[in-house]
């Protein structure tokens, strides 16, 4: 990742030593960009017109572009009365959310304001966000489209409005405590005290970084300021079906942070595995295969289905700890060991403890399910001792 700081009026090479950069201002404005070259000049002009006279500032662009956005920022920054830094990332780790985390790390002010680079977030609101945070002694101030005085007017078309509303409803339903008092968790425009968040604790995926902040490290005091969502100045929206899927995976990862939540999701995924299992069993028996070997083969279809969903939805962040072949073999072994263990356990409960067959079977299912979940976490998705030793060496 390359970093360049541009001092106002500097006509030579824009790359400077840290000692040449002016003292930090009262707010750092972090702008994540991806191919926004047609917008950044106007954005910097808007910031110049509305922020420095009321609040000293610096601007940090964290750029993942494949176009000339960094060059346009450098050129436009020469006319700005405040420091402008360009961090260009060769690899867009974590998407837009990851870019914001990099910007928070690079910020030198107590307050950090995050805003988009497409001119849909009005820079004139930046001083008010910070002032509101100071007055309320808040750690997070959200610019909301959904409180009195706010508007989502800049959302293009009924489809985007419906998607935004649906995503807002879903996130608030999944995290009622963490998002209490935040009417617009999908907002990309907010101010946060740098001391109220630990950047290393964040694990962003996609563009909804406010949700990540609120769920993983929500400050104790949160307040809101209304804002009117503007029309995009130039270019096209970066929203896509792929970003939508990343958002859903992000939601799943946040919701399954606790062991109990992971166990519930693990069980729900296991229930869905009955569908491919039964479909395969029906096909195999109709083809003339005896039902016992057919059941053994069909069970592997359910195991494969469960493994794919668990990989994508439940333990996505932990897949790096082991090679995919190692994870696959371990998961298949545990899933099939469940069948081997269940029958002797039922026999033990009936013969030794005198239980009836039905409650014995139900108890055995619960016991083997818990063991399978614990075994999957410990033996498939936790890092091996050798890997842990290498990482701490």
pTM above 0.75, yes or no: no
**pLDDT in the model for residue 392:** 42
Which two tokens mark 175?
């995290």
Q: Which of 101-115, 201-215, 303-317 has the highest mean pLDDT?
A: 101-115
User: What CA–CA distances, in Å, run from 364 to 349, 367, 371, 383?
Assistant: 8, 5, 10, 29
d(CA 55, CA 52): 5
Higher local confidence (pLDDT), 127 or 17:
127
**pLDDT in the model for residue 245:** 67
84-88, strands of its sheet edge to edge: 2-6, 84-88, 57-63, 27-33, 111-114, 190-193, 140-144, 222-226
Q: Is the dihedral of CA 369, 178, 107, 33 positive or negative?
A: positive
**pLDDT in the model for residue 302:** 85
Residue 13, pLDDT above cutoff 50: no
Residue 48, pLDDT above cutoff 90: yes
pLDDT tens digits for 365-391? 788 888 888 888 888 887 665 554 444
The closest of 128, 96, 117, 107 to 44, measured between CA atoms, is 117
Please count the residues of the chain: 393
* Mean pLDDT score of the chain: 79
Reported as type and span, the H/E element at residue 212 is helix 209-217
**pLDDT in the model for residue 54:** 87
Residue 8, pLDDT above cutoff 60: no
pLDDT tens digits for 149-192? 888 766 655 656 676 777 777 877 788 888 888 888 888 899 99
Asked whether the beta carbons of 100 and 30 are under 8 A apart, the reply is yes
> % helix / strand / coil in the chain, to the nearest 5?
55, 10, 35
The burial of 201, by beta-carbon neighbours within 10 Å (0-12 exposed, 13-18 middle, 19 or more buried), is given as exposed
The full 3-state SS of 75-103, as one line of letters, equals HHHCCCCCCEEEEECCCCCCHHHHHHHHH
Q: Where are the beta strands (DSSP E) in the chain?
A: 2-6, 27-33, 57-63, 84-88, 111-114, 140-144, 190-193, 222-226
pLDDT tens digits for 195-212? 877 766 677 665 678 888
Mean per-residue pLDDT, 55-62: 92
**pLDDT in the model for residue 18:** 36
Higher local confidence (pLDDT), 213 or 18:
213
Q: What is the DSSP code (8-state) at residue 151?
A: B
pLDDT band at residue 393 under the 50/70/90 scheme:
very low
CATH of range 2-255; options 3.40.50.2000, 2.50.20.10, 3.90.550.10, 1.10.760.10: 3.90.550.10
Q: What are phi and psi of 179, to 5 degrees?
A: -100, 10
**pLDDT in the model for residue 24:** 39
């Amino acid at each position: 990742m390359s970093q360049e700081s541009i001092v106002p009026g500097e006509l030579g090479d824009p790359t400077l030593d840290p000692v040449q950069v002016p003292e930090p201002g009262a707010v750092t404005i972090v702008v994540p960009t991806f191919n926004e070259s047609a917008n950044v000049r106007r954005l910097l002009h808007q910031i110049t017109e509305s922020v420095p006279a009321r609040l000293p500032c610096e601007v940090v662009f964290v750029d993942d572009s494949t176009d000339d956005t960094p060059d346009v920022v450098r050129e436009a920054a020469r006319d700005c009365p405040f420091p402008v830094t360009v961090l260009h990332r060769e690899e867009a780790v974590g998407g837009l959310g990851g870019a914001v985390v990099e910007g928070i790390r690079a910020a030198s002010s107590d307050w950090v304001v995050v805003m988009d680079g497409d001119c849909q977030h009005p820079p004139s609101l930046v001083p008010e966000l910070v002032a509101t945070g100071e007055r309320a002694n808040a750690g997070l101030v959200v610019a909301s489209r959904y409180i009195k005085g706010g508007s989502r007017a800049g959302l293009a078309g009924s489809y985007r409005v419906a998607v935004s509303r649906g995503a807002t409803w879903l996130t608030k339903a999944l995290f009622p405590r963490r998002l209490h008092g935040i009417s617009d968790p999908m907002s990309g425009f907010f101010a946060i005290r740098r001391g109220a968040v630990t950047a290393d604790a964040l694990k962003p995926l996609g563009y909804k970084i406010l949700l990540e902040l609120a769920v993983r490290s929500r400050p104790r005091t949160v307040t809101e300021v209304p804002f009117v969502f503007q029309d995009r100045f130039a270019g096209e929206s970066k929203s896509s079906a792929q970003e939508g899927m990343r958002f859903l995976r992000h939601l799943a990862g946040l919701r399954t942070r606790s062991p109990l939540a992971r166990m519930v999701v693990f069980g729900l995924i296991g229930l869905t595995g009955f569908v491919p299992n039964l479909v395969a069993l029906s096909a195999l028996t109709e083809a003339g295969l005896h039902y016992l070997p057919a059941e053994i083969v069909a069970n592997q279809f359910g195991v494969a289905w469960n493994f794919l969903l668990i990989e994508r939805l439940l333990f996505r962040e932990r897949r790096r700890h082991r090679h995919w072949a190692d994870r696959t073999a371990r998961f298949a072994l545990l899933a099939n060991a469940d069948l081997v263990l269940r029958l002797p356990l039922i026999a033990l409960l009936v013969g030794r403890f005198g239980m009836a067959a039905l409650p014995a079977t139900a108890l055995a299912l619960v016991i083997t399910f818990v063991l399978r979940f614990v075994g999957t976490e410990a033996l498939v998705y936790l890092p091996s001792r050798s890997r842990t030793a290498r990482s701490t060496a």
